[in-house]
Structure 1
Amino acid sequence: MKGIDKKWIYLAILSVVWGSSFILIKKALIGLTPLELGALRTLFAAAFLLLIGFRKLKTIHKREWKWIAVSGFLGTFIPAFLFAFAETEIDSAVASILNSTTPIMTLLLGAVAFSIGFTRNQLIGVIIGLVGSFLLIWSGSEINPNQNYWYAGLVLVASVCYACNVNIIKRHLQNVPALAITAGQFSVIIIPAVIVLLGSGFFSEATFQAKALYPSLGYLLILALVGTALAKVLYNTLVQISTPIFASSVTYNIPVIALLWGVLDGEQFGWFQLVATGIILLGVLLSKKT
């Protein structure tokens, strides 16, 4: 490890962890509804993070709490439900590839909302990446006509949420410890998650009689503790020690891991989809160049 920049180590770990998250969502949805999955994922992660990071909350200044709250909803709460609903209709591998547009969205949001300039190459990258996204959605609908690819739009919305979040952390929470940010985020969204869970019908007798519930809860527990809680701390640290574009480039490697899991699970993935994936990643690459 000596001589290796710490940010690259974080990037590698996050790539594997988040690349495996999409198949875990898919498996958890066998016994849970999207609302139950999103709420329980948030609550499990919140319990763990507040257990280890509660004391860090006092390091957050009053003026920073509004950004912690916005970051919590955009970076965690809303995407948890968007991905859960999306994967009821599209394959986990496709969801992960569309999620790789996050650096592109980060660039666009940085220019529009945070007055961060971009170059001609980056603009070309944005256009190429978005074209690749539409091609991926179209080709997926041809290979899997039984799937509703309008749900792919939910993943793109989640990417916009992530893009907003990474810019907020970099601009407004740069000096807040990563664990404090993460614990603060979940302390804000824990009550909304409880409300959603109570309204989801999870506590009905039929839910606990279903055989698929308990394996799904096992997948969800791994997703929440590793793919959400620990990964969020690592990601918030990565944003602080690098740049928003570098941190969001974790989405380069996520599709590779997710695609391997998807193929092993029997998901269909055609050559044209691979071409569309390459176009997206080319767009992401160009969007990072100056």
Structure 2
Amino acid sequence: MKLKDWGNFLLLGLIWGSSFLWIKVGQGGELPVLGLLHPEGSTTFGPFMLVTFRLLFGLLGMVGVLALRSQTFPRLPHVIGAFAFMGLFNTALPFLLITWGQRRIDSSLASILNGTVPLFTIVIAHFWQEDDKITAGRLGGLIIGFIGLVILVGKDFQFGALTDNIVGELAVVAAAISYAVAANFSRKHLRGQSPVVQTFMVLLFADVIMAAATPVAEPLVLPTSPLAWFAVIWLGLLGSCAAYLLFFSLLNAWGPTRTTMVTYVFPVIGLVLGILLLNEPADWRLFAGSALVVVGILVVNGRLLWQALRPAAPAASATATRAQ
């Protein structure tokens, strides 16, 4: 394995892991440790506007990539429809749910809850895919992972009351389920598509969806905080464009199995950055729940992890996975 590929892997984990921090900053969070504060009296993004502009900047970045790479776009209606489905369930909906949820919960918790995507993916695959069933070992991993999820969400549970924290946590869990649905759909319906074209088309449909929904949901008032704009530009160009390009570069160099090890990295990065830079609180339940989720994912994907540690064969193509 080349040192460059490991560098790309770590950079990808850092970009995706820190996306949760920048989502928080774009909606009013500050980084006092770094001296990055919103000017007094300035305004920041609401969740709909943030996602719309994030996708717009990501799309502009992909336009630049396409200007340098000649690509053939699909014309078959069912393929275009599949991209529209992915634009909704792999990007627009989960981006919005995570962003909306983070108005109510910490970024560190959101990153861990989003890390449950592999658990939901294997549950859905059991009913949707013919060659990816839940075995006894995987069932044990699912139980461990979901116990961790219950600990994470249950720490804010109040009998007979639906608190803001619980609603925010459930929104991020719903985003993880949406990503899992999209992953299984992509596996069945978008195999063999160009990664660059797939990324562009998904971002395009997602931004069209959000551009249509945003005027109905929020006032069309542009934020005045430079820090909020920096956060959204970062999320678009790096979190939604560069991250996918790094991901596809790793797919070609390592193959899909080893590349998906990044799902073990970004929740930890999101957890650490939220605690250190946003001064978010942490208690034993956050660490215990997070540890159980990670262990559950390791058990569920034990065979894949073993394959990932073996010498990799280059992969010609593979389908995309989500990014925050």
User: Per the shorter chain, which TM-score range?
Assistant: 0.7 to 0.9
Q: CA deviation at 1:95?
A: 0.3
Aligned: 1:163 with 2:176:
no
Query: Does 2:136 match 1:124?
Result: no
Moved more, 109-118 or 74-83: 109-118
Instruction: Tell me if structure 2 keeps the 8 A contact 1:139–1:272.
Output: yes
Identify, as 1 or 2, the structure richer in helix. Answer: 1
Give distance in 1, aligned partners of 2:172 and 2:165.
Answer: 13
Q: What amino acid maps onto 1:217 in structure 2? A: W
How far apart in 1 are the matches of 2:184 and 2:259?
A: 10
Give the 3 Å change call, closer, same or farther, for CA 105–242 of structure 1 in structure 2.
farther
CA distance in 2: counterparts of 1:94 and 1:88, whole angstroms: 12
Q: 2:10 aligns with which of 6, 9, 12?
A: 12
Task: Provide Cα deviations, 1:7-37, integer angstroms capped at 9, x if missing partner.
Answer: x665433211110000000000111111111
SS at match of 2:72: helix
Give yes or no for contact 2:46–2:218 (8 Å, CA) kept in 1: no
List per-residue Cα deviations over 1:193-244 (Å, max 9, x = no partner). Answer: 222333344534xx45xx4x3320111100111011222344456568644x
Q: Does 1:27 align with 2:25?
A: yes
Take 2:74 and 2:196, find their aligned partners in 1: how far apart are those partners?
11
> Residue in 1 aligned with 2:281?
268
Q: Indicate the residue corresponding to 2:311 in structure 1.
A: none
Q: For residues 202 and 217 of structure 1, do their structure 2 counterparts lie closer, same or farther at Cα, with a shift above 3 Å needed?
A: farther
Q: Deviations over 1:72-124 (max 9, x none)?
A: 21111111100111101100000000111111111111111223223211111
Alignment of 1:34-53 (within 5 A): 34-53=47-66
Contact 2:88 2:209 in 1 (8 A): no
**For the residues of structure 2 that align with 1:94 and 1:199, how far apart are their CA atoms?**
29
Number of aligned residue pairs: 280
| Residue segments in structure 1 that go unaligned for 5+ positions in a row | none
Tell me, yes or no, if the aligned pair for 1:43 and 1:194 is still in contact at 8 Å: no
- Kept in 2: contact 1:106–1:160 (CA 8 A): yes
**Residues 202, 60 of structure 1: CA spacing in aligned structure 2 closer, same or farther, 3 A cutoff?**
same
1:1-290 equivalences under 5 Å are 2=2, 6=5, 10-30=8-28, 31-53=44-66, 58-62=72-76, 63-115=78-130, 116-139=132-155, 148-204=165-221, 207=222, 211=224, 213-235=225-247, 242-243=255-256, 248-264=260-276, 265-290=278-303
Q: TM-score, normalised by structure 2?
A: 0.77
CA drift of 1:183 comes to 0.8
Measured in 2, the distance between the counterparts of 1:168 and 1:74 equals 10
Contact 1:43 1:193 in 2 (8 A): no
- 1:268 is paired with a residue whose SS is coil
TM-score scaled by structure 1?
0.86
1:61, distance to aligned residue in structure 2 (A)? 4.8
Letter of the structure 2 residue corresponding to residue 168 of structure 1: F
In structure 2, relative to structure 1, the CA distance for the partners of 1:60 and 1:10 (3 Å cut) is farther
Amino acid at match of 1:153: L
Q: Which runs of 5+ in 2 are unaligned?
A: 29-43, 304-324
